[in-house]
Amino acid sequence: MRFDAVPMPPAVAARPRDPRGYPVPAITPWHDGQPQFALTDYGRSADCARGRLCSVCDVLIPRGPVWRVVGATESAAIAAARAAGRPYRNMAPTPEGPGHRACMLYAAMVCPYLARPNARRGTDARAPDAMTAHVVRGAVRGDSGAVVGYGDYEFAVTPTQVLFRFLDVVEFLPHDTGDAHLAELRAELDRG
């Protein structure tokens, strides 16, 4: 979906924009005045983790559940666990931080990286410099994913990476494409 056809959460609308008007997520690094959408900024990600700030809009996430966009593999694993009536548990850490429900619904619809995170398999951590470690993400799109709510998360800020682990799935909103979330996003923004 074109990003300008998707209703924008107010905190996302307050983000800096790229020359197309596309809002730049909180954890996106800038280089020569250009946002590097495919990368995650170590310092910004660490600030979000330590301050419980949304990785999209940079605003505090209230106490309670957090959300993120997952790719096809994790989405399928969550669906299988739910179908079998067992809790889903994935202890593998990820460099992708949490966010607000509205922000993640929005991101799933407009951001090719977030909407199709399974494309980022083969994540390649570059040799870190003194200040920053970037995680390079592939831009190839996958088939499906989900916006997932979690009861809790934990994080670790290592010298080179910020890693998150998500616990207790409390909401599961699968999609073939991010467009599937338009009604849910509108309802979430109405609840405001």
Return residues touching Zn ion (CB under 5 A): 54, 56-57, 99-100, 103
Pick between residue 57 and residue 163 the one whose CB is nearest to Zn ion. 57
**Neighbouring C-beta atoms of residue 27, cutoff 10 Å:** 27
Pick between residue 9 and residue 72 the one whose CB is nearest to Zn ion. 9
> Residue 87 Cβ, how far from Zn ion at the closest point, in Å?
26
Pick between residue 54 and residue 162 the one whose CB is nearest to Zn ion. 54
Pick between residue 88 and residue 188 the one whose CB is nearest to Zn ion. 188
Question: How many Cα atoms sit within 13 Å of 58 on the Cβ side?
Answer: 16
> Residue 61 Cβ, how far from Zn ion at the closest point, in Å?
7
Instruction: Quote the distance between the C-alpha of residue 187 and its chain's center.
Output: 20
Q: Which tokens go with 89?
A: 């548990």
> Residue 156 Cβ, how far from Zn ion at the closest point, in Å?
22
> Residue 112 Cβ, how far from Zn ion at the closest point, in Å?
19
Pick between residue 33 and residue 64 the one whose CB is nearest to Zn ion. 64
From CA 177, how far away is CA 192, in angstroms rounded?
A: 24
> Residue 184 Cβ, how far from Zn ion at the closest point, in Å?
15
From CA 185, how far away is CA 2, in angstroms rounded?
A: 15
| Residue nearest to Zn ion according to CB distances in the complex | 54
Instruction: Quote the distance between the C-alpha of residue 143 and its chain's center.
Output: 17
Residue 80 burial class via C-beta count within 10 angstroms: exposed 0-12, middle 13-18, buried 19 and up: exposed
> Are 149 and 171 a contacting pair, CB within 8 Å?
yes
